[in-house]
Amino acid sequence: MKQVRQGKISYLQPAWAREDQVVAGFTTRNGGVSRAPFNSLNLGFNTDDARHNVEANRSTLARSFEVQPHLLLNARQVHGTDLLVIDEPNPDLSHFLQVECDGILTNQPGILIGVLVADCYPVLLHDPFCGAAAVVHVGWRGAAAQILPKAVRSLSTLLGSRPENLRAAIGPGIGAHKYEVDRPVRDAFRAAGMEWEAIAVETGLGKWQLDLRTCCRLQLRQAGLDAAHIEEADECTCCHRELFFSHRRDQGQTGRQMGFIMLPA
């Protein structure tokens, strides 16, 4: 995944975004106006950063891609599996900012949809044949509840996509070496029928290192995506302070980066 610059921001761009001529990627923390500890491109309203800073940062992101700020949309994420579907023109997206969901699906061009993260994984999906896209927020709860397979199914049943046509990008998130979890997390994955040993390594009594990146990849493969169509960012948000916000590293006092995608007009 290549780091590129667009306007005032830098972001990680999947190779298929260039090939499909679609706006898609993952922001870094650089290019905004927020001050420490939210410096500088904090895009999350659910932080202690001043609202006018976040609004300015979101405007910077939108205008970098020649989009009006009111067409930048992310819903209220709650670590669940609900998905927001936008399948018809809507001139006012502001009311969707309060919708509680962890993924957005659309076939409408010109809307910059995104999910906010600071250790969880943002995942982008795009079907260039039917013109559908999705962005999904994946933490351990969403992963255990199979939110990615649900998103793939919903793209198929609601927007006419085919899993074998989908391109996916798994953005930067916390690496397994920095993400220790306990028995309730293990039990949630096992209750969902997932092979725990394929995504976690035991580090002590009742403790495991959970590899959410591998979990995302396995779930996408199981949902029918071609391995060659899945691209992954290598960076760990916890390790790369200069590039990413990290909730765990910064003990909650941090900003949010965004995974985003927009269908071409």
123-169, pLDDT tens digit by residue? 999 999 999 999 999 999 999 999 999 999 999 999 999 999 999 99
What is the four-CA torsion angle of 13, 18, 22, 25, rounded to 10 degrees? 0
Query: What is the pLDDT, as a whole number, of residue 257?
Result: 98
Q: Would you list the domain boundaries of the chain?
A: 2-175+224-262
Rounded percentage of the chain residues whose pLDDT exceeds 90: 94
pLDDT band for 94, please (50, 70, 90 cuts).
Answer: confident
CATH of 2-175+224-262, one of 3.60.140.10, 3.40.50.970, 3.40.50.1010, 3.90.245.10: 3.60.140.10
Q: Chain-wide mean pLDDT for the chain?
A: 96
Helices 147-159 and 212-222: angle between axes, nearest 10 degrees: 40
What confidence tier does 98 reach under pLDDT thresholds 50, 70, 90? Answer: confident
Surface-to-core class of residue 34, CB atoms within 10 Å of its CB (0-12 exposed, 13-18 middle, 19+ buried): buried
What are the two backbone dihedrals, phi and then psi, of residue 60, each rounded to the nearest 5 degrees? -60, -45
- How far apart are alpha carbons 149 and 16 in whole angstroms? 21
- Token pair listed for 208: 């495991």
Q: How many CB atoms lie within 10 A of CB 26?
A: 28
Instruction: Tell me the average pLDDT across 98-120.
Output: 95
For residue 73, is pLDDT > 80?
A: yes
Q: What is the pLDDT of residue 198?
A: 96
Summarised one tens digit per residue, pLDDT across range 157-214 is: 999 999 999 999 999 999 999 999 999 999 999 999 999 999 999 999 999 999 999 9
Tell me how crowded residue 82 is: count the other CB atoms within 10 A of its CB.
Answer: 14
